[in-house]
Amino acid sequence: MLLRATITFAILWVTSSWALRESRAYGDDLVQDYVSARALLDGLSPYRPLDELRERVGMPPRPEHVMVRANPHPPGAVLLTMPFASTDFGTALDRVRLAQLAALAAAWALAYTLVARPMPGWAWGLLGGAFGVWAPVWQGLDWGQPVGALALAAAAVWALGRIPRPLAFGLVLGLACTVRPFFAINCVVAIKWTPRQLLTALAGALIGGLAPFAAVGTTPWGWYRLASEAGAYVEGCGSLPGVLGLGTGAGVLMYAAAFGVLAYFRWRGLPADATLALAAVAAMLTYPLAWFQYDVSLIPVVAWVAVAAHRTDNRLALLAVAVFIAARAVPDIIPDTGGWVDVVGRAKGWMQVAARAVLLAGTVAAVRRCANAPS
């Protein structure tokens, strides 16, 4: 696994550096976590007003496109940034990018075990390195999004949910939700577990989910009250709530409806692999703030569907994976205003939804051919 991860990391560094020849976003999404982490290191609340936190580190006030008064990211994201926050922002951004590439390489190496070793490890590593030129990866690095952490969390939740390992699954899922909450839908896999396993997973999730809040000195409801302002960004996301203009409330209901559908099929015997794959895609289609960079969490799904489709000669599923990767290779939003950005912004949202819907169709097609997948 170390060899696969090392090969993948080396190639990711080369390919992402080539794709990101000139920064456009300058770590814009990392700024909030950076100033919050700096405050936490100094013994202050990381959820003070952003203008105050930016001033403390010598940054100008919030730009116009930052429509929230406090950091909307949950505390897990702040804690991930703390090891890099003791230096200037430029250096921190460079180091965070390298760390995210390492996490992405580890996620791809872990995905190798999820698809039952389909090819030599070195070949798998080479293939994973190509993701460096995939827009959700290199643009996520440009914005300072935790793309590697998201991919690694997705692979780890999948690996622990299929065995199952209830305590570890709950811990990792709880922690993942404190980085980005869209992971919550993965708990649907536990519906077929025994009562004892369910209680163990719940205990793990409570520990993993509440520990970061305790570490930063805030409560989940206190953070949510501040983070709710991020609902202003829903229309900029390529999920169904965004393109349909439904807003946060309706989007949460759509996300809950997706959970309900998956819960029904899981209860009726849907295998764990199929449940987790469908849950990951459903999250990106229904979660109100499913930004384009979050598609990195679908990398394990892409691997699983591609390998399953190849083994069963499922050309429809293979085509769906190819279309998804190609459609999401189109660079997405950049921090400019006016001109072509305003003209094609809505079309890009629909392109994201369409690409994710195609992957969902491909996943369903693969599931139908894999009735004997591990449960």
**CA gap 317, 314 in Å, rounded:** 6
**CA gap 243, 241 in Å, rounded:** 6
In 3D space, the residue among 75, 46, 80 whose CA is nearest the CA of residue 210 turns out to be 75
Has residue 373 got a pLDDT over 50? Answer: no
**What is the SS3 assignment for 359?**
helix
Confidence of residue 375 (pLDDT cuts 50, 70, 90): very low
Q: What is the pLDDT of residues 305-337, one digit of tens each?
A: 999 898 888 999 999 999 999 998 877 755 444
Can you give the pLDDT at residue 346?
Answer: 67
Confidence of residue 288 (pLDDT cuts 50, 70, 90): very high
Can you give the pLDDT at residue 372?
Answer: 45
Cα–Cα distances in angstroms (integers) from residue 33 to residues 187, 202, 224, in the given order: 27, 28, 16
> How many beta carbons lie within 10 A of that of residue 257, not counting itself?
12
Q: What is the pLDDT of residues 198-221, one digit of tens each?
A: 999 999 999 999 999 999 999 999
- Report percent pLDDT > 70 for the chain: 95
For the record, the structure tokens of 256 come out as 């809950």
Has residue 349 got a pLDDT over 90? Answer: no
Q: What is the pLDDT of residues 130-174, one digit of tens each?
A: 999 999 999 999 999 999 999 999 999 999 999 999 999 999 999
Q: What are phi and psi of 118, to 5 degrees?
A: -85, -15
Confidence of residue 347 (pLDDT cuts 50, 70, 90): confident
**CA gap 28, 73 in Å, rounded:** 13
Can you give the pLDDT at residue 23?
Answer: 87
Can you give the pLDDT at residue 339?
Answer: 45
Q: What is the pLDDT of residues 211-263, one digit of tens each?
A: 999 999 999 999 999 999 998 899 888 899 999 988 889 999 999 999 999 99
Q: What is the pLDDT of residues 56-114, one digit of tens each?
A: 999 999 988 888 999 999 999 999 999 999 999 999 999 999 999 999 999 999 999 88
**CA gap 275, 187 in Å, rounded:** 10
Can you give the pLDDT at residue 192?
Answer: 94
Can you give the pLDDT at residue 2?
Answer: 87
Has residue 277 got a pLDDT over 80? Answer: yes
Can you give the pLDDT at residue 371?
Answer: 56
In 3D space, the residue among 111, 230, 236, 110 whose CA is nearest the CA of residue 180 turns out to be 230
Has residue 264 got a pLDDT over 60? Answer: yes
Where do the domains of the chain lie? 2-369
Has residue 8 got a pLDDT over 70? Answer: yes
- Average model confidence (pLDDT) across the chain: 91
What pTM was computed for the model?
0.93
**CA gap 59, 23 in Å, rounded:** 18
Can you give the pLDDT at residue 370?
Answer: 66
